[in-house]
Amino acid sequence: MIFGKSSIVAGSIILGFVHQAVAASFPSGVVTYWGQNSANSESAQKGLAEYCDDSSDVLIAGFITNYNVGDLPTLNLANACTGTFFEGTNLLKCDHTCQKKGKKVLLSLGGASGAYGFKSDDEGKTFANTLWNLFGGGDSKTRPFGDSIIDGFDLDIEGGGSTGYVAMIKELRTLFKKDSSKDYFITAAPQCPFPDAMLGDVISEAGVDAVNVQFYNNYCSTTGSSFNFDQWDDWAKNKSPNKDVKVFLGVPGSSTAAGSGYAKIEDLKPIIKDLSKYSSYGGVTVWDASQSYNNKDASPNFAVALADIVHGSSSSNDDNDDSSDAGNDKTIDPSTTSATPGPTSTTSDGNAETTTTTTTSAPSPSSTEDSDNDNDDAEQEDTCVQDGDECSNDGQYKCVGSGFAVCNHGKWVVQQCAAGLSCMSTTDGSSIYCTQTSGSGNKNTCSNKQTLSSKADVAGPAPKAYNAARVTTQLSVKKSDDKSFQAVVNARRKDSKPFGSTVVVQMTMPPNIKVTSVDHGKVQQKGRKVKIQLKNTKKKSMSVVFTIAGSVDQGSVFNAPSANSIKFMT
């Protein structure tokens, strides 16, 4: 629920802090986002108290979706908590009780929904004081959680630009010093393309305690060859003002929690084990509780199974267990109310006019390769295949430098992508496609041949982003074969004007591609020109992520549309 100006929707929240005499680093382990009920089910999101178990070390409640600088911001916690209003205001208050479970609880700013941003550094400073008085150690007659105090703030800035955030962070740090009874933290949730379009400069100028990097909905997901944890580790060690900053692996809690990038527990296990070699590695961040606790891909659920792996892989639990610390924890009473009905998905009208170009048949890009094959397999060696090398899986495709190789009758046949394009792994790791790249990756795509367990230090080329005055966009291909494709479009506002209820996108596709459907909308294609009308289920948002699907001429490799051809008309 998003209320209008000068309103806060406050939800049930556990503010589990403990008194500590000295400053501590941000806890390692599992970070879980809560508050948005992304599963869109009345019973999926429970009160935060339900998640204060051993499966989560830190809980992040979100989001503040409208800053309304100088007045009261808007806090949206979906179906959590209805309370009484402060007299004469639209600001909800919730009852609170006490708990001593030692969990850290942060409040997140931003998210996909709403409209937010600052026009100046002064606005950032002003808003820092608002946050401190409403939720921190300050004072206000309209504190949604009463005298409970959160443990810090998280920046999940999906749009609106970077103006004012450095000033806000620095002001918050100054305010934190007024309360020596506890530790306060500031974290950020950048997307995995490095540097993040919104937070890149912010986190490199103002120190944060941890980054919850979103390794999904982008080319740099955990399952593709361009997984770039090493870039974030390098940033943590060499560029971050805080040399003790922790980098968390952000993952979707289920296949429905993100457009792409979901990995099952059995696939995450070797990745997490490999990440533990990085000194900056802090653990795993999950989006979100409504998804992970209801995901039965693992027993008893994804959240518990993930926590077992993360806590078991940690070489030290110094930061993971605060249960022995004493304090007068003040918490909000858990409760939930009926959820707003979730959105329903529709696909295209199926009547798009298209023209296609027939190409000579070739073996199809295969999705049958097991990405977790034994490391002793000759085809998994960390070297590029050569033209004429033996292969065993006819129809299998691999990236070779900027080109690709196809297994044809037991021999690798090396080919080049079209002029100006380079080979990329699909985000599910099963095949390849060709696209424009920015060259920001630090390794070539031969590393696509590695198994998931050895890809933590692989950063392949980055697809070229579409950057206009008001929107920055990434298109990454989720899966592709010789007949069809699925691609994820991730668009973010660079200004404070949000996307509206209808989003219109135009792009020019290569001649062998036909777009036939889009999530929550319809598509029309005339020749190579594609027009997408997308229903924004959030009504107003700083970002939109949607999946397009369609057909590929038989025998073709999918070529992504030119980055310069993608235009947002609204």
Q: Give the mean pLDDT of 214-223.
A: 94
Q: Give the mean pLDDT of 461-483.
A: 91
Q: Is 383 exposed, middle or buried (0-12, 13-18, 19+ CB in 10 A)?
A: exposed
Say which range, 269-273, 295-299, 352-356, has the weakest mean pLDDT.
Answer: 352-356
Amino acid identity, position 400: V
Distance from C-alpha of 33 to C-alpha of 553, rounded to nearest angstrom: 41
Tokens coding 249: 């692996």
**Locate tokens 């590929």: which residue?**
552
Measured over the CA atoms of residue 55, residue 31, residue 450 and residue 453, the dihedral's sign is negative
Say which range, 305-309, 458-462, 488-492, has the weakest mean pLDDT.
Answer: 458-462
Which helix (H) or strand (E) segment is 305 a member of? helix 302-313
Q: Give the mean pLDDT of 372-396.
A: 67
DSSP structure class, residue 5? T
pLDDT reported for residue 23: 53
Q: Give the mean pLDDT of 434-452.
A: 58
Which helix (H) or strand (E) segment is 508 a member of? strand 502-508
Max CA separation in the chain (angstroms): 78
pLDDT over 60 (residue 379): no
Q: Give the mean pLDDT of 422-451.
A: 71
Q: Locate the domains of the chain by residue range.
A: 7-18+30-324, 378-568
pLDDT over 60 (residue 97): no
Each residue's pLDDT tens digit, 164-203: 999 999 999 999 999 999 999 999 999 999 999 999 999 9
Tokens coding 429: 């790791």
Count the neighbouring beta carbons within 10 Å of the beta carbon of residue 267: 16
pLDDT reported for residue 146: 79
Distance from C-alpha of 72 to C-alpha of 379, rounded to nearest angstrom: 59
374 CB contacts (<8 Å, ≥6 apart)? 380
Each residue's pLDDT tens digit, 511-570: 989 999 999 999 999 999 999 999 998 889 999 999 999 999 977 899 999 888 999 987
Tokens coding 484: 């069809």
Amino acid identity, position 119: K
pLDDT reported for residue 383: 60
3-class SS of residue 524: strand
pLDDT reported for residue 295: 96
Amino acid identity, position 235: W
Beta strands 502-508 and 331-332 are unpaired
Reply yes or no on whether 158 is catalytic.
Answer: yes
441 CB contacts (<8 Å, ≥6 apart)? 226, 228, 459, 460, 461, 462
Tokens coding 235: 């940033």
Amino acid identity, position 95: D
Distance from C-alpha of 532 to C-alpha of 511, rounded to nearest angstrom: 18
126 CB contacts (<8 Å, ≥6 apart)? 69, 70
Count the neighbouring beta carbons within 10 Å of the beta carbon of residue 392: 10
Distance from C-alpha of 216 to C-alpha of 219, rounded to nearest angstrom: 8
Active-site residue, selected from the candidate residues 50, 87, 123, 158? 158
Distance from C-alpha of 13 to C-alpha of 331, rounded to nearest angstrom: 7
Per CATH, 7-18+30-324 and 378-568 having the same topology is answered no
Distance from C-alpha of 233 to C-alpha of 261, rounded to nearest angstrom: 20
With b for 16 or more beta-carbon neighbours within 10 A and e for fewer, the 98-121 pattern comes to ebbbbbbbbbbbbbbbbbbbbeeb
Distance from C-alpha of 240 to C-alpha of 498, rounded to nearest angstrom: 30
Q: Under a CB-based contact definition with an 8 Å cutoff, are residues 449 and 389 in contact?
A: no
- H-state helical runs in 240-288: 265-275
pLDDT over 50 (residue 109): yes
Tokens coding 468: 């206009």
Tokens coding 354: 């298209």
Strand partners of residue 533: 504, 522
pLDDT over 60 (residue 119): yes
Distance from C-alpha of 14 to C-alpha of 60, rounded to nearest angstrom: 10
pLDDT reported for residue 505: 96
Each residue's pLDDT tens digit, 19-63: 333 357 999 999 999 988 788 787 888 877 788 878 999 999 989
Distance from C-alpha of 564 to C-alpha of 61, rounded to nearest angstrom: 37
Amino acid identity, position 536: N
Fold of the domain built from segment(s) 378-568 = Immunoglobulin-like (2.60.40)
CATH 3.20.20.80 fits 7-18+30-324, yes or no: yes
**Strand intervals (E) in 99-151:** 104-111
- Most confident residue range from 44-53, 85-94, 322-331, 361-370: 44-53
Report the mean per-residue pLDDT for the chain.
Answer: 81
Distance from C-alpha of 240 to C-alpha of 282, rounded to nearest angstrom: 15
Amino acid identity, position 215: F
pLDDT reported for residue 349: 36
Which helix (H) or strand (E) segment is 523 a member of? strand 521-526
CA angle, corner 224, sides to 222 and 230, nearest 5? 55
